[in-house]
């Protein structure tokens, strides 16, 4: 499952994970880790690292775990030391100070990196159990434009790619009883 998208089932009503699209960066016998791609915060990189010039990169809410820590996904590959390739052309982590230097000198564009406050995590067999109960739909990401979709449209877009008839759910507000 590593490198796949978890798309919250339309009927999942689970607080943070409602309408979420999560990119799984790690999955093994001990559990799973990923980052929600579609919950943009009001904060920018410059708010947490004011010394970095060109810090207008948005920060996303990656999940409910370790929300006081900053993580990042990117498409920079081996141009950023100590990066880990999750799937074709998508990497997690790397030398943070080097990344800040690259951003400061205009060598990184917003479509190449996404910052997250926190992450999403599951314990041993927890994610498999949730998938088995139908809470999550799995999909391979479109690596050619990984960060290109508007976060507010991402859940509906990926949901309809899994099953076209699910598109109608994305047209409802987050609380269908209000429609």
pLDDT, one tens digit per residue, over 136-158 is: 999 988 766 678 778 888 888 88
pLDDT, one tens digit per residue, over 16-33 is: 899 999 999 999 999 999
How far separated are the first and last CA of the chain, in Å rounded? 35
Rounded (5°) CA angle 80-83-87: 120
Q: Is the pTM of this model over 0.85?
A: yes
- Model confidence at 57, pLDDT cuts 50, 70, 90, reads very high
117: β partners: 61, 70
Task: Tell me how far apart the alpha carbons of residues 45 and 96 are, in angstroms, rounded to a whole number.
Answer: 12
Name the one residue in this structure whose structure tokens are 């100590």.
82
Ramachandran sector of residue 167 (left: φ over 0; alpha: ψ -120 to 50; beta: rest):
alpha
Distances (CA, A) of 137 to 6, 61, 140: 6, 20, 10
pLDDT (average), residues 117-138: 96
- Model confidence at 165, pLDDT cuts 50, 70, 90, reads low
Please state which of the four CATH numbers 3.100.10.10, 2.70.210.12, 3.30.300.10, 3.40.1740.10 is assigned to the domain occupying 5-178: 3.40.1740.10
Q: b vs e for 120-157, b when ≥16 Cβ sit within 10 Å of the residue's Cβ? A: bbbeeeebeebeeeebbbeeebeeeebbebebeebbbb
75, pLDDT greater than 90: yes
Q: Computed over its alpha carbons, how large is the radius of gyration of the chain?
A: 16
| Mean pLDDT rounded to a whole number for the chain | 89
From the CB of residue 174, how many other CB atoms can be counted at a distance below 10 Å?
A: 9
Q: Where are the domains of the chain?
A: 5-178
pLDDT (average), residues 34-47: 96
Between 177 and 27, the higher pLDDT residue: 27
CA-wise closest residue to 31 among 9, 55, 1, 54: 1
């Amino acid at each position: 499952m590593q490198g796949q998208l978890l798309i919250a089932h339309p009927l999942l009503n689970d607080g943070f994970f409602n309408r979420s699209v999560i990119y799984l960066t790690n999955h093994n016998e001990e559990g799973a880790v990923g980052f929600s791609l579609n919950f943009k915060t009001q904060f920018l990189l410059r708010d947490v690292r004011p010394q970095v010039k060109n810090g207008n990169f948005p920060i996303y809410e990656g999940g409910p775990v370790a929300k006081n820590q900053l993580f990042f996904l990117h498409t920079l590959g081996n141009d950023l030391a100590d990066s880990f390739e999750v799937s074709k052309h998508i990497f997690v982590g790397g030398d943070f100070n080097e990344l800040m230097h690259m951003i400061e000198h205009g060598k990184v564009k917003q479509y190449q990196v996404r910052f997250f406050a926190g992450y999403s995590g599951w314990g041993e067999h927890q994610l498999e159990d949730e998938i088995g109960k139908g809470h999550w739909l799995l999909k391979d990401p479109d690596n050619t434009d990984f960060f290109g979709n508007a976060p507010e449209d991402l859940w509906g877009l990926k949901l309809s790619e899994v099953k076209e008839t699910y598109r109608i759910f994305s047209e409802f507000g987050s609380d269908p009883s209000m429609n």
